[in-house]
Amino acid sequence: MPGHVFNPKDLHKLEDPERLVSMPPEDVVRILGLTSGLRVADVGAGSGFFAIPFARAIAPARLFAVDLQTEMLEILRAKLAQSGAPRNIELVLGAASATHLATASCDLVFLGNVWHELDDRPAALREAASILAPGGRVAILDWRADRPHPPGPPVEHRIAAGEAVSTLTSAGWTVSKTADIGLYSYLIVASPPLA
């Protein structure tokens, strides 16, 4: 993610209650079919906007909250210390291309609002394929290029859904689902190439 790393000083943007309306996590949980027992890696977990509701949906299975910024993991750690927070989240310092997770340790790799930040998308897809168990999927949620800024990154930094699909299919992935999420985002679900 180097080059477009989220600035922790802009945490207020991640914590804005309006995000619950414009990018509702419960819609993502529903569309992805997250249920108890699925093992999930939230890569680029940030302050836990998706990690926390995902962890509740899949409990008691483990959710790996992967982020390359120690500051963001510490913010999430503080949230997890609060009463009522899920207890099945493991914080992992890592990047999309090097999560440090075990081979075949996840049923879903979720890349939420990080696809446009990645300098090496093929490396991120290779890593996702490595940590996915047989039958596993990757889900990419990112900013639509046909929606105005703000919120989100400048339009010229966004990767259109069609381009993301093309990157996946060119790398041998099979896209099984595409959907718009909330007001500004798209979601793509895909399976890795057969080994």
The per-residue pLDDT string of the chain (195 residues; one tens digit each, 9 = 90 and over) reads 334 566 566 555 556 667 667 778 999 999 999 999 999 999 999 999 999 999 999 999 999 999 999 999 999 999 999 999 999 999 999 999 999 999 999 999 999 999 999 999 999 999 999 999 999 999 999 999 998 777 888 888 999 999 999 999 999 999 999 999 998 999 999 999 985
Asked whether the beta carbons of 46 and 14 are under 8 A apart, the reply is yes
Q: Could you tell me if residue 115 is inside a domain?
A: yes
pLDDT at 150: 75
Q: Could you tell me if residue 13 is inside a domain?
A: no
Q: Could you tell me if residue 128 is inside a domain?
A: yes
Q: What is the CATH number of the domain that holds 50?
A: 3.40.50.150
pLDDT at 67: 97
The predicted model scores a pTM of 0.89
Q: Could you tell me if residue 64 is inside a domain?
A: yes
Look at strands 106-112 and 40-43 and give their pairing: parallel
Asked whether the beta carbons of 137 and 129 are under 8 A apart, the reply is no
pLDDT at 1: 36
Q: Could you tell me if residue 45 is inside a domain?
A: yes
pLDDT at 20: 61
Q: Pick the closest to residue 131 from 31, 43, 23 (CA basis).
A: 43
Total domain count for the chain? 1
Q: Could you tell me if residue 148 is inside a domain?
A: yes
**Which structure tokens are listed for 180?**
């718009």
Domain interval for residue 74: 19-191
Q: Could you tell me if residue 8 is inside a domain?
A: no
Q: Could you tell me if residue 11 is inside a domain?
A: no
